[in-house]
Structure 1
Amino acid sequence: MIRFFKGCLILVVGGLWSSGAWAASVVFLNPGSAPDPYWSSYSRFMQAAADRLGMNLQIYYTDRDTRTLLTLARKTLQGSDRPDYLVFSNELNVAPEVLRLSVGSGVKLLAVNNTFTADQLSILGDLRSRYPDFLGSVVANDEDGGYLIAKRLIESRTPVLPGQTLEMLAFSGTNSTPVSLQRERGLYRALAENPQVRLRQIVLGGWRRDRAYEQAQMLIKRYPNVSLVWAASDLMAFGVMDALGEAGKQPGKDVLVGTINDSTAALQALLEGRLSVVAGGHFTLGGWALVLLHDYDNADKAARQPIGTWRVRAMQIRERSDSLGFMQANSRDDYGIDVRQFTEGHSPKGVAYPFVRVGAAN
């Protein structure tokens, strides 16, 4: 069986969650765009999870534009038709302003993917007392993802002869978002374990294919002996591979490329050998966040506690032999996972509970 969480690809049986209770309403401010394969998959799984859990979900794409995101946040939090819950990401460092807009709204908040930075927390202080409607955060194991792809890349080229080194290039996302920084931390952990690998340069590709392509064009000329490329997202990896092809280098042979995001395009490239390493599964994070919101919403109101900070063990290496199976799963909105089996702290027999508590509400 193909695995999301050590056996968590579970076929869905039965119909929608049936309940006579009033359905909780949720708005998700998707930081990406609808054409982006990752954020599209993210929304599809989140919607399928909402349907299974009997929750009303509305998704707005914000196209990585701060003004658009805050306009939609203001409409959601201060308009006449407010939801019970707002789910958002701190990808554009907008979390403090979203908190400010939420004061007095009665809308409960949950952060996903990117939670508050250390600098933001030092300024905001105790979130629980200042913003009691902020419930917590749900993040993925992004450091593991960065580490795993770097480790697998290095293992594919080692051992090397004494005195020899391997040269690597790295394409990160941004220098401010926690997700990007966590993935970088994983990269550096793998490099510390393998001193025979020399990181020639790390650049910020902004999660964009065109930008990574332009950067790679220059870097390939500057460092002609590079044989490993670490990319924090599949779009940047494809931009690098475009530049490698133009330079007469074959991805998967002359230069090994590893990346994060198990989009259908990335899995196809892995199957064909153009991508050497792919880690994924974190597109399910929004759906898992709804599981925690569902449990909170169904708890006795007098006994409710903030959700706190949870890490989902979502990200794992995708093996080439499993590529077809994962591509088939990608064709289903629910990706073969029945999230109802993980409510109220439960997991199916033999499957690990995917959530790990890592902190209080902030």
Structure 2
Amino acid sequence: MVKCLTVLLTILIHNTCLAINVTFINPSVPGTAFWDRVSAAAVAAADDFDIQLTILYGRDNRIFQYKAIEQAIAAEITPDYIIFMPYDGNAVQSYDLIEAAKIPFVTIERTLQPTEQAELGQPQQKYHYWLGEIFHNNVNAGKLLADALIEQAVKGANKKSLTAIGIAGSFSGESNQRAEGLKQSIDAHHNIELLQVVPAIWSRERSRHIILQLTERFGDIDIAWAASDSMALGVLDSLKSGYDKMNPKLAIGGIDWTVEAIQAVKQGDLAASVGGHIMQTAWALVKIYDHHRGIKVFTKGKNSESYDLEVIHNKNIMHYFILANKVNWRAVNFKQFTRSYTKQDHYQFSFRLIIEALNNNSD
């Protein structure tokens, strides 16, 4: 009996030692449509990997984000890894703080201005505990959205040249990069004129007013590109308000794949929504899981994109429409994305596999 208890105790201690403790600093607040989905997918992935996931909140502010990192470091059980999104203005201080605590960390998104990004260098160089990044190309995201909106607008137009406006987020690197994608798309279409790009600070309410002001200034507008779904929905709010100076065929779209935006695409109210980055923290956990098991998945100095975003429009909406409901992320076996499982030398972070799993288990 004593021998059995000893063996059981040894197993329990062994399993406890193997458990991975990860803290994710969600940069927003609970109740935010996009970031709630990021957390939900991450929780499901953590369950598949037997990871103890703690979620703290940065409250949409770099000061509160820094305090959340301090809280994670001071926790009774020090996390084995920290996942967070660097903020403009204090990214260096945040990196210094975690580096001094000697906690390995993974960053998500590329949201910084080029000068601050350059000051950080590349993973595992200046900051040895910075394992790597999980990010997509925001320029490509902005271009992907603009291309979809232009295609939609051209189909419904009875004139040779069209006009477009852009509603950007803040003055962050993320917003600037998405707006650069818009400009690149416009430059590739000789018959589209970009009238103005105006920041709405990611606010739906502000975008409602901005589109009215731009309509007053420029008259008929054919394309309204927005750096987020929330701001695109603000434009839609104004269009549906009965303001008769707005183009009823206005092609509107945003980025994030929020539930409301996907529903609006199905209804034909939005022309497109670009997304896929709701998986970014789950992808970080996939790589941490492999790294913890001894697989070399983080490369010193590597800065290439981890995955691509995709566009939802009227042609493929039914394939993606499951995302407009409450998603059962536990229907996805996240171990299928690990190199521990696939034995491959690279990751296939494709949303196609996510959708297949969700649709196959929708009953």
Q: Give the TM-score band, short-chain normalised.
A: 0.7 to 0.9
Q: Are the structure 2 counterparts of residues 333 and 314 from structure 1 closer, same or farther at C-alpha, using a change threshold of 3 Å?
A: farther
Distance across 2 between alignment mates of 1:268 and 1:223 = 30
Matched, 1:52 2:48: yes
Q: Are the structure 2 counterparts of residues 307 and 252 from structure 1 closer, same or farther at C-alpha, using a change threshold of 3 Å?
A: farther
Distance across 2 between alignment mates of 1:115 and 1:172 = 13
C-alpha displacement of 1:43: 0.7
Q: Are the structure 2 counterparts of residues 304 and 243 from structure 1 closer, same or farther at C-alpha, using a change threshold of 3 Å?
A: closer
SS at the partner of 1:190? helix
2:326: which partner in 1? 331
Q: TM-score, normalised by structure 2?
A: 0.82
1:145: which partner in 2? 141
Structure 1 portions without partners, runs of 5+:
1-18, 356-362
What code does the residue aligned with 2:196 have? Q
**Count of equivalent residues:** 333
What code does the residue aligned with 2:108 have? V
Matched, 1:313 2:307: yes
Q: Are the structure 2 counterparts of residues 115 and 213 from structure 1 closer, same or farther at C-alpha, using a change threshold of 3 Å?
A: closer
Distance across 1 between alignment mates of 2:90 and 2:247 = 38
1:150-189 pair list within 5 angstroms: 150-158=146-154, 164-177=160-173, 179-189=174-184
In the TM superposition, what whole-angstrom CA distance separates every residue of 1:198-218 from its partner, at most 9, and x where no partner exists? Answer: 111101122121121222221
Distance across 1 between alignment mates of 2:267 and 2:145 = 18
**Larger relative CO (CA 8 A, sep 6+): 1 or 2?**
1
SS at the partner of 2:28? coil
Distance across 1 between alignment mates of 2:198 and 2:244 = 20
Contact 1:87 1:112 in 2 (8 A): yes
What code does the residue aligned with 2:189 have? N
Q: Are the structure 2 counterparts of residues 22 and 348 from structure 1 closer, same or farther at C-alpha, using a change threshold of 3 Å?
A: closer
Q: TM-score, normalised by structure 1?
A: 0.82
Contact 2:265 2:314 in 1 (8 A): yes
Structure number with greater Rg is 2
Distance across 2 between alignment mates of 1:300 and 1:257 = 44
Structure 2 portions without partners, runs of 5+:
1-13, 351-363
Report the structure, 1 or 2, having the larger helix content: 2
Q: Are the structure 2 counterparts of residues 69 and 207 from structure 1 closer, same or farther at C-alpha, using a change threshold of 3 Å?
A: same
In the TM superposition, what whole-angstrom CA distance separates every residue of 1:320-340 from its partner, at most 9, and x where no partner exists? Answer: 354355343442241743221
1:239 aligns with one of 234, 240, 246: 234
C-alpha displacement of 1:175: 2.1
Q: Percent identity?
A: 24
Contact 1:342 1:348 in 2 (8 A): no
1:265: which partner in 2? 260
Matched, 1:196 2:195: no
Q: Are the structure 2 counterparts of residues 346 and 229 from structure 1 closer, same or farther at C-alpha, using a change threshold of 3 Å?
A: farther
Contact 1:262 1:279 in 2 (8 A): yes
Q: Are the structure 2 counterparts of residues 248 and 276 from structure 1 closer, same or farther at C-alpha, using a change threshold of 3 Å?
A: same
Deviates more, 1:333-342 or 1:211-220: 333-342
C-alpha displacement of 1:182: 2.5
C-alpha displacement of 1:22: 1.5
Contact 2:165 2:225 in 1 (8 A): yes
